[in-house]
Amino acid sequence: MRFFLVVLLLSLASCSNREKQSQQTKSTGVNLCRHSTYLGVFKTKNGYLIRIQHPDNKNKRFQFYVSNAAQHLAVLSSTHIGMLSALNEEKRIAAITDIRYVYSPLVKKRFKQKHIVALQNEQTMSVDQLLRSKSEYVIYSAFSGAFSQEQRLEKLGIHCIPNFDWREQTALGRAEWFLLFGALTGKLSESIELFKSIEKAYNQAKKSSVNSKEMISGNVTGDFWYAPAGQSFMAEIFKNSGLNYLYCQTKGTGSLAYSMEKIMKDGSNVKIWLNPGFSSKKEIVQVNPKAKYLPFFKDAKLFCYTHDGNKFWEMSTLRPDWLMEDLAQIAAGKTTKNLHFYKEVK
């Protein structure tokens, strides 16, 4: 009889714990993300529920419950650093991939002081180094597919969170991943307010944009010229900035790959060349001597962000309003010295 009583008490306690856990993780049902296709952030009784949909597999969804602010984060993309910097939470960054690609002065300083470790590569990073960083979460971008270390790290108590901001089709959808970092750092309210201000500025910049002369983007890598497809978030920004993008009518959300011959044929009326990947025309010709034969090489206006590429990659995802302000000035032919990311290539 005593045995059955013990079993009954244990069963009741188990049910009580499950019910308590269910109440804690049960969301209000209101997704705080309004633009993102793949991220969902929900308030719960004692924290936040994060839901992430895999872009290529409708049946695969990641789910995390955050009850306390993380003290140590491993962030494997520049955009993650930029979002934490906007919240003034660089102190929570414990691990990065490569310090050479960091813009944030504070992160550089903390790395020099050995508060941050470098993991070098997302797929082949040192687990020992990661453990030394005491990171509770690893936020990765999955550019190379599945995260090879995920199962091992989960067993060690380190949660792995995929960030698919780069798969979003709109600029505001990308920027809204900022809310993920707000939830992880206990600053969700602050991240929502800042995102609203970015959203407002982006829409205001869009309304003030004007149509410009024909524009092309990209450059040759190997045998192909790579440029944003017409349904990509970058093409959306071009359009909203008032730029008349040459390939705005193409299908797809990724990159186009065209031959040099096609670019020469299509680009006869191009007056603006964006993102050639170099800071001077001399560098462009050194890497690709055929570039000087492009119909727009000599007379078109060239602009790029490569004079400070780390700043661009770290901050432009969160600040599409700044990016569009730059491009709107370029579209109108009224560029100043106060561009956020871009500089004329001469």
Using alpha carbons only, what angle is made at residue 224 by residues 246 and 146, rounded to the nearest 5 degrees?
A: 100
Region for residue 323 given its phi and psi (left: phi exceeds 0; alpha: psi -120 to 50; beta: otherwise): alpha
Say what the pLDDT of residue 145 is.
Answer: 66
Cα(239)–Cα(244) distance, integer angstroms: 7
Cα(23)–Cα(36) distance, integer angstroms: 26
Q: Give me the DSSP letters along 43-108.
A: EBSSSEEEEEE-TT-TT-EEEEEE-S--S-EEE-SHHHHHHHHHTT-GGGEEEES-GGG---HHHH
Domain ranges across the chain: 29-201, 208-345
Dihedral, CA of residue 143, residue 145, residue 148 and residue 150, to nearest 10: 80
Q: Answer yes or no: same fold for 29-201 and 208-345.
A: yes
- CATH, domain 208-345, list 3.40.50.1980, 2.40.37.10, 2.30.30.700, 3.90.1150.10: 3.40.50.1980
User: Bridge-partner residues for 105, per DSSP?
Assistant: none
Fold held by 29-201: Rossmann fold (3.40.50)
Residue ranges in the chain modelled with pLDDT below 70: 1-28, 144-145
309, with CB counted inside 10 A (0-12, 13-18, 19+), is middle
| Interstrand relation of 214-217 and 272-274 (parallel, antiparallel or unpaired) | parallel
Residue from 65, 73, 76 nearest 91 by CA: 73
Q: Alpha helix (H) ranges present in the chain?
A: 2-25, 78-86, 105-112, 127-133, 150-155, 171-175, 178-184, 188-207, 233-240, 260-266, 281-287, 309-315, 320-332
Please tell me what DSSP assigns to residue 293. G
Say what the pLDDT of residue 7 is.
Answer: 38
